[in-house]
């Protein structure tokens, strides 16, 4: 049995703009996505010497997870990732995927997508396929909109429906990040259906791009923006309350990640993030202090 261990990092959107609704029904987005230190641990095991009596992935792939909120069957997109790469590579053998969940579920942090990306990256290594990130991202695009970014990781300008990923080299030290997730979830599909692009204030994507490249914390804070807040904040008063609580606790800038419901606050340092998080843990069920990360997937064993 051969195994590999991958840290699968979560993401936040420093800037998220929706440009228009496409004729295919999807929305054309423009976003600065950023990996953060918070991560799941995905262990992938294969048995290349096992006797295989079926080519049906449903009988070859097994998923286990530490979270009761995450499906441990074909509904898990990590399963889908293994199935697609298995067929792409023609490698039919037993695969075991174990996911240690640390990223909150249905939180706007790409927890499922980064697990799928970890499976693609891990199996690419185990099977010695030699596929480049752009090739893995093409497979990942078939799984979910955030999977391509999670394969590249770090900092990136993301366009299309998520498949256009342009990595960005970020200067300076890693900022601190405080994540606060309320006890409820939000339907991404419903948020997009309710979005009125004629009424939104579009963020300055280029301003954020320039600020993050320079590592200018003050300008990053000034350019935080997410058009989806135009839907969620009026509907969920508690999200606005979380933003105010983060600012009162010492965060310099706050924003909803993706379609929510997680709100993040930025601090100049990781130590400052720890201090802010400590002030909020008695008020909210899920509060996490972390930092920006230069990686989306990290092979550690």
| Residue 111: closest CA among 80, 150, 142 | 150
8 Å CB contact between 91 and 244? no
Is 146 labeled as catalytic in the residue annotation? Answer: yes
Prior bond of 261 cis (ω within 30°): yes
Q: Catalytic one among 40, 83, 146, 243?
A: 146
Catalytic one among 11, 83, 101, 243? 11
Residue 76's nearest CA partner among 12, 141, 125, 143 is 143
Query: Tokens at residue 300, please?
Result: 């550690």
Number of helices (H) and strands (E), helices first, in the chain?
11, 12
Give the SS3 label for residue 296. Answer: coil
Other CB atoms within 10 A of residue 263 CB: 29
Whether 174 is catalytic: no
Q: Are strands 225-226 and 61-65 parallel, antiparallel or unpaired?
A: unpaired
Q: Which helix (H) or strand (E) holds 234?
A: helix 229-235
Give the DSSP H or E segment for 16: strand 2-21
List residues with catalytic annotation. Answer: 11, 146
């Amino acid at each position: 049995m051969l195994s590999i261990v991958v840290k699968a990092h979560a993401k936040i959107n420093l800037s998220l703009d929706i440009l228009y609704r496409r004729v295919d029904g999807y929305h054309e987005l423009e976003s600065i996505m950023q990996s953060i230190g918070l991560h799941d641990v995905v262990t992938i095991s294969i048995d290349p010497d096992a006797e295989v009596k079926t080519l049906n992935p449903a009988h070859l792939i097994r998923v286990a997870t530490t979270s009761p909120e995450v499906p441990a069957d074909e509904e898990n997109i990590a399963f889908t990732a293994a199935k697609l790469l298995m067929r792409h590579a023609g490698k039919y053998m037993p695969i075991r995927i174990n996911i240690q969940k640390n990223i909150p579920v249905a939180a706007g942090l790409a927890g499922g997508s980064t697990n799928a990306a970890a499976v693609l990256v891990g199996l690419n290594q185990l099977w010695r396929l030699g596929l480049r990130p752009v090739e893995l991202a093409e497979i990942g695009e078939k799984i979910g909109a955030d999977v391509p970014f999670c394969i590249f990781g770090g900092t990136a300008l993301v366009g299309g429906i998520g498949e256009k990923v342009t990595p960005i080299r970020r200067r300076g030290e890693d900022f601190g990040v405080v994540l606060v997730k309320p006890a409820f979830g939000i339907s991404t599909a419903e948020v997009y259906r309710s979005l009125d692009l004629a009424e939104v204030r579009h963020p300055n994507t280029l301003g954020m791009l320039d600020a993050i490249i320079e590592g200018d914390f003050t300008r990053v804070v000034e350019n935080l923006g997410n058009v989806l807040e135009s839907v969620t904040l009026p509907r969920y008063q508690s999200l606005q309350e979380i933003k105010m609580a983060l600012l009162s606790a010492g965060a310099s800038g706050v924003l909803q990640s993706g379609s929510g419901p997680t709100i993040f606050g930025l601090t100049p340092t990781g130590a400052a993030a720890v201090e802010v998080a400590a002030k909020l843990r008695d008020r909210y069920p899920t509060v996490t202090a972390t930092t920006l990360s230069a990686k989306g997937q990290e092979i550690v064993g």
